[in-house]
């Protein structure tokens, strides 16, 4: 059975189609669903195995990135989400989806009552930037990152991607629990701007929950599925697949293996 | 009751907005600004309890990790001991406040129903000693644009009660007016109709035996405006003793008709031109300008420019899914001193920053990659910048035709109607002047990309379910233009009181001609209305039935049941008198200055690489999401560090296929000052050779034209346009590349306060789109590997007219680059064959800055050196000097990298073309170029050249 993926749309989601495509390529059965369908209960979250919140600018990112959608989840769908996670299912948030996960109370751990402890704020460069970044992968904890190579190449495209923590203790716990999955990297030297494209603390690009079943990341794995998406494929030759595909395959295998 | 909530980034976090204000103040020459604190302010109207205020602040507005927040008091993050000054800026009444709208939703989502309205403001606190003058400069030049914003005063009313205007049908007495009075009426009502047109209208209403209503007159002015009717290009032109009957028909349309390509699906009749993509889908392409709004409010102007052009493919056939944006800008020089900027004009740097931000925010939020563009700088664009926005869409083959029949419901879908953009269509047909920023504020607006994104998503669903029979966009002219055009063959009844409004107080006339953004009109069969309404409601998109189509070819407008306008479609669309214009053309520049002694060409090359029109545009490109939707195959920045200048971009509109589209542009106003014919020829050649350079498909390449010209009432301006249009015919005919869509924007002139009129240089943008069977054959411009051979393809001639090297030497020359399209076509075909066979490792076209710039760019993009010699290159027999050989901007040329082992096959394929092996890729960092006799003329470290190229706009 192919695992069913709900790619959650809201006003301003815009990476939904390619996120669905990535899951379909990885062997899932992905569907685009508007959040209104969940609110009116014509679609039930419990019918799916994987929830993906795609990139975009939900509600224009007005107020702050992902905030309004995050509140819709936190104050409207908390019970369904708690149950979804408790039933050993997977949640993925990419870019705007990552911003939503941390503001909704799904990362660094599922807790809708506690105040937010991490956030994604304005890039140090002060502007939206689209560029490719090398990422160091810590594959141990997170379901999505299992057996991935130690280094992958994905694009980032955001204005609010700087990962910061409320206090030093938060960062300490993330490290101790091995929740830091992706870090910006420079295979050739020191990691500074633009290799770390936004000024994130500890070069953090993506984190998971303590169980490793919720992943949020700023870079876009769904934009590196086909080898011709690599910015240098005309130099290096086309690889067999893009670096992003294994991430989606891992999610599918969690239910098929 | 009003609540004020203020937020700021905590002191320990970096605040990019505050920092950018400090830097920009110093840019203005005000060094005394020590630091800036920036506060986001929300005003909330409604009877909120203390706990509710706290809830709104903490749960919605503030991010606990990074923000400080204060309720009903000011935050205080500046050093109050030091001299400081605070100023708060807010939007003018009626200007769309997107964040406020979202905040309103977010507050209601929290279950707080007491909220009535939200408004936002920005407060800045400056530390440092500032004079009154300096404060005024900072406020006006940095913090706000008075067209849409103002400084909030302590006692200012923030929320206004809405008020109804009493309904009163207005008629405009015409019958008794003499010629002078008719002209005065046209001017007073901003109709921009000429005397002949006013008289035609007068006669028509005389025959009807009544006066026109205000809305009828406005409808005529809008439909007959230059913007909507293209009356100059389709009118009669006296030129060289002959009358040209419809210049467009004689040139651009004609070449498309004669070429008669079976893959041209719909050309020059719908909102965008449609060509075949594959067995199941077609693609369509449209490029528009939004010049005058961008001059006054760069952010909003460009924002709504891109928003507007996205609705063109969406309104083509039964609607296309937007897959790619393009943008091309022409600005004044960004390094001009503030004192040299004419009164009433924004500084070019501010215009550029605003325009880029406007395109960025709209395109990125819509999730449409911006993949192709260029920027051109010239003094004459200071008062009248040009902003070209393009969009490409994909649509199923069976969704390319509209079917307009009587009896269908007319729905307006998407945004609400407000007073924004009243008179955009007519005003854009007039000239800018130093008072424009005051008088035109109604024509300026800010887009809402999220509303448009929702509109696209739901309309495409409705399209696929077959719920409507016809669709068009509300662009210039609003509902008047949309319904007036779409229902031309049937007629329609519209109830203007049914149109959903942003706020009370609009008259029926304003509702009809408002250019509020993000609206589309669809014609829905009665049996589908309910399903359509429920589909839109399901994703929070507003859709409203406002009338229906009829069968008598009359447009009737009602307000509260009263007939307020009645217009025969025949008169509206065919009643306009044809313009007769005179055109003359004489070369302005004749002959060529003597060349001075040859300077150090290393310095010249560095200088040209740093020229604003050549230098890296990475600062702009990176701010656009060029990879959303996942299709990009060749990105705008290429090479070993992803920062070299790609020739054309390639994208796959369908993720499950490697079929792709390549998109490029050509623009060269400098040549137009010598001869618009060769400017147009060069622009077409440039667009096409960029397609060739990336391995595109010449057999499936189509063109778009966008003419931006000065006032064509002046015969010399129109004469240049005639020459350019003729070149379009001549070149497209030989290249077999049909035109599929186009647009013109005339009257691009600026009158300064001394009364002098400055026209833009004649500017023709050519955009090219090519359908490639297999994106995996694409070629990029960065050098790949040391040891590979380098070839020069194409003929180099003594053509320094309008060139960068000519500018560098400060010489004037009429030897503008020409095109030999027959020879070029043969070369292009041979080169594309070599690419199909996989023989070409890199290819870059020679354009601005000639061989020198092309070679340097290929080297630093590839991160490797090269050594080439121009001995015996094709054309060398007429070349007298090395600098001409290196910097001449002759068209139809490429530098090509080929592996040694493929050299012979490459030679064979290009044996009938002008082609010469000139050197090879080196395993070092040096760009070495030898002249016609083998003497080394350029020897530069590639990193030095790259720095020159990157520093100019490395903001």
CB B122 within 8 A of CB B142: no
Phi-psi map region of B467: left, alpha, beta (phi>0 left; psi -120 to 50 alpha)? alpha
CB A98 within 8 A of CB A133: no
Residues of chain B found within 8 Å of residue A228, distances taken between Cβ atoms: 633, 652, 658, 775-776, 778
Contact A231 B638 (CB under 8 A): yes
Contact A18 B775 (CB under 8 A): no
CB B717 within 8 A of CB B745: no
Contact B780 A119 (CB under 8 A): no
Q: Which DSSP string corresponds to B561-621?
A: TEEEEEEEHHHHHH-SPPPEEEE----SS-S-PPP-S---HHHHHHHHHHSTTTS--HHHH
Q: Which of residues 636-675 of B touch A (CB under 8 A)?
A: 637-640, 642, 652, 655-656, 658
Residues of chain B found within 8 Å of residue A229, distances taken between Cβ atoms: 627, 630, 632-633
Q: Do residues B144 and B188 share a domain? A: no
Separation in Å, CA A85 to CA A28, A33, A77, B598: 19, 19, 12, 74
Contact B106 A55 (CB under 8 A): no
Q: Which of residues 754-813 of B touch A (CB under 8 A)?
A: 775-776, 778-780, 782, 784
Instruction: Establish if B931 belongs to a structural domain.
Output: yes
Separation in Å, CA B747 to CA A54, A72, B226, B423, B813: 45, 50, 9, 16, 28
Q: Which of residues 27-66 of B touch A (CB under 8 A)?
A: 59-61, 63-66
CB B350 within 8 A of CB B141: yes
CB B219 within 8 A of CB B512: yes
CB B691 within 8 A of CB B698: yes
- B346 backbone dihedrals φ, ψ, rounded to 5°: -80, 150
CB B98 within 8 A of CB B446: yes
CB B700 within 8 A of CB B687: no
Catalytic residue among B227, B230, B423, B548: B227
Among the listed residues B16, B102, B58, the one whose alpha carbon sits nearest the alpha carbon of residue A122:
B16
Instruction: Establish if B744 belongs to a structural domain.
Output: no
Q: Do residues B795 and B921 share a domain? A: yes
Among the listed residues A167, A184, A55, the one whose alpha carbon sits nearest the alpha carbon of residue A124:
A184
Q: Which DSSP string corresponds to B149-191?
A: EEEPPTT---S----PPPP---B---TT--HHHHHHHHHHTT-
Alpha-carbon span A228 to A226, nearest angstrom: 5
Q: What is the dihedral of CA A100, A101, A104, A108, to 10 degrees?
A: -140
pLDDT at B424 (0 to 100): 59
- B553 backbone dihedrals φ, ψ, rounded to 5°: 55, 35
Residues of chain B found within 8 Å of residue A166, distances taken between Cβ atoms: 64-65
Token couple for B541: 């998109």
Q: Do residues B6 and B81 share a domain? A: yes
Q: Do residues B12 and B87 share a domain? A: yes
What is the SS3 assignment for B668? coil
Q: Do residues B815 and B915 share a domain? A: yes
Among the listed residues A38, A66, A64, A36, the one whose alpha carbon sits nearest the alpha carbon of residue A51:
A38
Who among A9, A21, A119 is closest to B63 (CB)?
A119
Q: Do residues B135 and B210 share a domain? A: no
CATH of the domain at B913: 3.90.650.10
B423 belongs to the catalytic site: no
Instruction: Establish if B162 belongs to a structural domain.
Output: no
Q: Which residue has the tokens 């694409």?
A: B778
Alpha-carbon span B41 to B123, nearest angstrom: 7
| Segment-wise mean pLDDT, segments of 10 residues, chain B, 955 residues | 96 90 88 94 97 97 96 88 91 87 96 96 95 93 87 90 81 95 93 94 96 96 90 92 94 97 95 97 97 91 95 98 97 93 91 96 97 96 97 98 98 91 60 45 74 97 98 93 97 97 88 93 98 98 98 97 97 93 92 93 98 97 96 97 97 97 97 95 98 98 97 93 97 98 92 87 97 97 98 97 96 96 98 98 97 98 98 95 98 98 98 97 98 97 98 93
Domain count, chain B: 3
Q: CA of B617 to nearest chain A CA: how many angstroms apart?
A: 13
Whether the link from the prior residue into B612 is cis, omega within 30° of 0, is no
Alpha-carbon span B346 to B141, nearest angstrom: 8
Contact B99 A165 (CB under 8 A): no
Kind plus residue range of the DSSP H or E element containing B808: helix B804-809
Contact A228 B622 (CB under 8 A): no
Residues of chain B found within 8 Å of residue A157, distances taken between Cβ atoms: 364, 625, 627-628
Q: What ipTM, to 2 d.p.?
A: 0.97
DSSP one-letter code for B92 = P
Contact B364 A57 (CB under 8 A): yes
Contact A67 B63 (CB under 8 A): yes
Kind plus residue range of the DSSP H or E element containing B300: helix B298-314
Residues of chain A found within 8 Å of residue B652, distances taken between Cβ atoms: 226, 228
Q: Which residue on chain A is closest to B625 by alpha carbon? A: A130
Catalytic residue among A15, A25, A95, A208: A95
Contact A62 B98 (CB under 8 A): yes
Sign of the CA dihedral with A103 first, then A108, A112, and A118 last: negative
Q: Do residues B66 and B211 share a domain? A: no
Instruction: Establish if B935 belongs to a structural domain.
Output: yes
Instruction: Establish if B784 belongs to a structural domain.
Output: yes
Q: Which residue on chain A is closest to B19 by alpha carbon? A: A126
Who among B450, B538, B862 is closest to A12 (CB)?
B450
Contact B64 A166 (CB under 8 A): yes
Adjacent-strand bridge partners of A56? A13
Instruction: Establish if B636 belongs to a structural domain.
Output: no
CATH of the domain at B93: 3.30.1280.10
Catalytic residue among B84, B150, B230, B290: B290
Among the listed residues B610, B629, B64, B395, the one whose alpha carbon sits nearest the alpha carbon of residue A103:
B64
Instruction: Sort B170 into a burial class: Cβ within 10 Å, 0-12 / 13-18 / 19+.
Output: middle
Pair type for strands B936-941 and B915-922: unpaired
Alpha-carbon span B176 to B160, nearest angstrom: 42
Q: Do residues B190 and B121 share a domain? A: no
pLDDT at A162 (0 to 100): 97
Contact B65 A131 (CB under 8 A): no
Contact A75 B775 (CB under 8 A): no
Instruction: Establish if B10 belongs to a structural domain.
Output: yes
* Angle of CA points A216, A221, A222, to nearest 5°: 110
| Segment-wise mean pLDDT, segments of 10 residues, chain A, 257 residues | 97 98 98 97 97 97 96 96 97 98 97 94 94 94 95 97 96 97 95 97 98 98 97 94 97 95
B446 touches chain A (CB under 8 A): no
Contact B635 A15 (CB under 8 A): no
Kind plus residue range of the DSSP H or E element containing B531: helix B529-537
Q: CA of B924 to nearest chain A CA: how many angstroms apart?
A: 18
- Which residue range is the domain that position B200 belongs to? 179-229
Contact A234 B638 (CB under 8 A): yes
A220 belongs to the catalytic site: yes
Alpha-carbon span B271 to B396, nearest angstrom: 16
Which of A62, A99, A108 to mutate: most B Cβ within 10 Å? A62
Q: Do residues B810 and B939 share a domain? A: yes
Who among A76, A103, A128 is closest to B623 (CB)?
A128
Chain mean position to CA A132 = 16
Q: Do residues B146 and B21 share a domain? A: yes
Q: Do residues B225 and B86 share a domain? A: no
Strands ordered across the beta sheet of B926-930: B840-845, B894-898, B789-793, B915-922, B865-869, B926-930, B936-941
Token couple for A10: 């809201």
Q: Do residues B115 and B191 share a domain? A: no
Question: Domains, chain A, ranges and CATH?
Answer: 4-256 (3.40.50.880)
Residues of chain A found within 8 Å of residue B632, distances taken between Cβ atoms: 229
Whether the link from the prior residue into A108 is cis, omega within 30° of 0, is yes
Among the listed residues B547, B642, B591, the one whose alpha carbon sits nearest the alpha carbon of residue B861:
B642
Q: Which of residues 455-484 of B touch A (CB under 8 A)?
A: 457
Q: Which residue has the tokens 């002047």?
A: B433
Q: Which residue on chain A is closest to B649 by alpha carbon? A: A231
Adjacent-strand bridge partners of A31? A6
Separation in Å, CA A203 to CA A148, A189, B589, B677: 19, 14, 58, 55
């Amino acid at each position: 059975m192919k695992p069913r993926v709900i790619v959650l749309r809201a006003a301003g989601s815009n990476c939904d189609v390619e996120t669905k495509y990535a899951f379909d390529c990885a062997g899932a059965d992905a569907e685009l669903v508007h959040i209104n369908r969940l609110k009116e209960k014509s679609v039930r979250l419990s019918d799916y195995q994987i929830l993906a919140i795609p990139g975009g600018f939900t509600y224009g990112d007005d107020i702050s990135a992902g905030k309004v959608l995050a509140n819709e989840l936190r104050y409207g769908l908390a019970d369904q989400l708690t149950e979804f996670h408790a039933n050993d299912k997977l949640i993925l948030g990419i870019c705007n989806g990552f911003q939503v996960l941390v503001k909704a109370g799904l990362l660094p751990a599922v807790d809708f009552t506690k105040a937010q402890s991490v956030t994604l704020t304005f890039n140090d460069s002060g502007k939206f930037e689209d560029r490719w970044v090398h990422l160091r992968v810590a594959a141990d904890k997170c379901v999505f990152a299992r057996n991935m190579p130690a280094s992958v190449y994905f694009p980032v495209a955001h204005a609010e991607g700087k990962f910061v923590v409320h206090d030093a203790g938060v960062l300490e716990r993330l490290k101790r629990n091995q929740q830091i999955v992706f870090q910006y990297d420079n295979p050739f030297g020191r990691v500074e701007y633009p290799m770390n494209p936004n000024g994130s603390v500890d070069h953090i690009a993506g984190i998971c929950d303590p169980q490793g079943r919720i992943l949020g990341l700023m870079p876009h794995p769904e934009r590196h599925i086909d080898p011709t998406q690599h910015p240098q494929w005309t130099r290096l030759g086309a690889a067999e697949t893009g670096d992003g595909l294994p991430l989606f395959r891992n999610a599918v295998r969690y239910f098929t293996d | 009751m009003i609540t004020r909530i203020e937020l700021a980034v905590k002191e320990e976090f970096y605040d990019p907005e505050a920092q950018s204000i400090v830097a920009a103040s110093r840019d203005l020459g005000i060094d005394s600004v020590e630091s800036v604190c920036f506060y986001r302010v929300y005003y909330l109207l409604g009877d909120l309890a203390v706990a509710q205020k706290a809830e709104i602040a903490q749960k919605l507005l503030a991010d606990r990790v990074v923000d400080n927040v204060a309720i009903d008091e000011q935050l205080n993050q500046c050093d109050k001991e030091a001299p400081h000054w605070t100023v708060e800026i807010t939007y003018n009444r009626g200007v769309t406040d997107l964040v406020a709208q979202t905040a309103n939703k977010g507050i209601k989502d929290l279950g707080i129903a007491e909220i009535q309205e939200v408004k936002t403001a920005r407060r800045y606190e400056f530390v440092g000693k500032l004079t009154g003058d300096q404060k005024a400069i900072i406020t006006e030049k940095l913090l706000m644009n008075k067209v849409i914003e103002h400084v909030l005063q302590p006692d200012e009313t923030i929320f206004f009660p809405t008020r109804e205007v009493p309904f009163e049908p207005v008629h405009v007495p015409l019958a008794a007016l003499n010629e002078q009075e008719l002209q005065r009426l046209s001017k007073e009502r901003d109709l921009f109709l000429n005397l002949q047109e006013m008289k035609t209208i007068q006669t028509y209403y005389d025959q009807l035996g009544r006066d026109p209503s205000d809305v009828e007159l406005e409808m005529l002015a809008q439909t007959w405006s230059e913007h909507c009717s293209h009356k100059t290009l389709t009118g009669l032109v006296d030129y060289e003793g002959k009358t040209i009957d419809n210049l467009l028909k004689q040139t651009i349309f004609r070449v498309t008709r004669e070429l008669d390509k079976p893959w041209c699906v719909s050309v020059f009749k719908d909102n965008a031109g449609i060509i075949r993509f594959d067995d199941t889908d077609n693609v369509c392409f449209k490029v528009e300008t939004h010049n005058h709004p961008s001059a006054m409010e760069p952010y909003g102007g460009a924002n709504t420019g891109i928003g507007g052009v996205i609705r063109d493919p969406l309104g083509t056939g039964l609607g296309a899914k937007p897959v790619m944006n393009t943008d091309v800008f022409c600005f004044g020089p960004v390094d001009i001193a503030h004192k040299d900027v004419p009164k009433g004009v924004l500084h070019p740097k501010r215009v550029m920053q605003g325009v880029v931000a406007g395109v960025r925010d709209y395109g990125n939020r819509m999730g449409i990659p911006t993949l192709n563009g260029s920027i051109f700088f010239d003094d004459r664009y200071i008062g009248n910048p040009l902003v070209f926005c393009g969009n490409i869409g994909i649509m199923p083959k069976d969704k390319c035709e509209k079917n307009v029949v009587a009896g269908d419901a007319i729905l307006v879908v998407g945004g609400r109607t407000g007073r924004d953009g009243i008179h955009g269509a007519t005003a854009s047909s007039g000239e800018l002047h130093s008072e424009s920023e005051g008088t035109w504020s109604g024509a300026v607006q800010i887009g809402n990309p999220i509303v448009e994104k929702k509109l696209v998503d739901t309309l495409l669903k409705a399209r696929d379910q077959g719920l409507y029979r016809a669709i068009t966009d509300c662009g210039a002219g609003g509902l008047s233009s949309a319904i007036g055009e779409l229902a031309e063959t049937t007629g329609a009844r519209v109830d203007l009181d049914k149109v959903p409004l942003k706020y009370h107080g609009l008259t029926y006339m304003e509702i009809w001609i408002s250019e509020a953004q993000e609206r589309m009109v669809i014609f829905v069969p009665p049996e589908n209305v309910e399903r359509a309404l429920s589909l839109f409601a399901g994703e929070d998109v507003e859709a409203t039935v406002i009338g229906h189509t009829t069968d008598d070819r009359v447009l009737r407008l009602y307000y509260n049941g009263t007939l307020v306008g009645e217009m025969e479609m025949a008169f509206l669309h065919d009643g306009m008198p044809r313009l007769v214009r005179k055109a003359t053309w004489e070369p302005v520049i004749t002959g060529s200055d003597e060349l001075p002694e040859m300077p150090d060409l290393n310095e010249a090359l560095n200088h040209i690489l740093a020229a604003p029109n050549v230098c890296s545009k990475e600062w702009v490109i990176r701010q656009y999401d060029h990879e959303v939707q996942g299709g990009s195959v060749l990105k705008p920045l290429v090479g070993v560090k992803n920062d070299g200048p790609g020739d054309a971009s390639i994208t796959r509109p369908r993720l499950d296929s490697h079929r792709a589209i390549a998109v490029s542009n050509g623009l060269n106003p400098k040549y137009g000052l010598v001869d618009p014919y060769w400017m147009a020829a060069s622009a077409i050649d440039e667009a096409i050779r960029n397609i060739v350079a990336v391995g595109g498909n010449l057999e499936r390449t189509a063109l778009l034209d966008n003419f931006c010209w000065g006032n064509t009432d002046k015969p010399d301006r129109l004469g240049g346009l005639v020459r350019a249009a003729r070149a379009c015919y001549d070149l497209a005919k030989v290249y077999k590349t049909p035109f599929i869509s186009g647009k013109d924007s005339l009257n691009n002139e600026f009158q300064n306060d001394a009364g002098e009129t400055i026209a833009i240089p004649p500017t023709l943008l050519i955009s090219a789109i090519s359908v490639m069977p297999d994106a995996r054959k694409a070629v990029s411009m960065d050098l790949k590997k040391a040891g590979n051979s380098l070839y020069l393809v194409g003929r180099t001639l003594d053509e320094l007219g309008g060139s960068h090297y000519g500018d560098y030497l400060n010489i004037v020359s009429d030897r503008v680059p020409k095109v030999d399209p027959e020879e070029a076509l043969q070369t292009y075909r041979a080169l594309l064959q070599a690419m199909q066979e996989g023989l070409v490792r890199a290819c870059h076209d020679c354009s601005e800055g000639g061989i020198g710039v092309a070679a340097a760019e290929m080297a630093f993009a590839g991160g490797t050196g090269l050594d080439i010699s121009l001995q015996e290159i094709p054309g060398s027999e007429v070349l007298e000097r090395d600098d001409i050989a290196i910097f001449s901007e002759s068209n139809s040329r490429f530098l090509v990298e080929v592996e040694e082992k493929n050299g012979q096959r490459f030679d064979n394929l290009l044996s009938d073309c002008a082609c010469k092996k000139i050197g090879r890729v080196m395993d070092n960092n040096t760009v070495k170029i030898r002249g016609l006799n083998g003497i080394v003329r350029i020897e530069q470290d590639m990193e030095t050249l790259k720095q020159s190229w990157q520093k100019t706009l490395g903001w």
